[in-house]
Structure 1
């Protein structure tokens, strides 16, 4: 029985860890998220392949840009959230 509980707990943590942060209307309307959303053409240019993608986001430094990407990735889509996770930003 303990094994089953452990497997179920692992499964739920895996599923919950894969969810994209919800993009609410209020969140999308913030300046931080506008910096992330408005960079779509730049993302397409770099195809989420390198650190150039972070430079697409408006901000004064990479730490600020990374925080915006973490907060607002759901407003861009799953590919953005996957890229944020792959970069291992401190979200």
Structure 2
């Protein structure tokens, strides 16, 4: 259930920002890779576990407030109204 919501929300988020941030995206991804390559492996593992735990917590809260389909339709309406 969590992974389905995460995939739906990620897909919506990417479609919302893909046209706006195409120029910035390539630079950001390169700089992120360079930054990540300088970090020690245990730090990367810990930060990814923390980040995933935080995202799981946030999506758990969102899921308790509304269903994935309600969230998806709300985000789609917001994107089309802009």
TM norm structure 2: 0.30
TM-score by length of 1: 0.28
Instruction: Decide which structure has greater helix share.
Output: 2
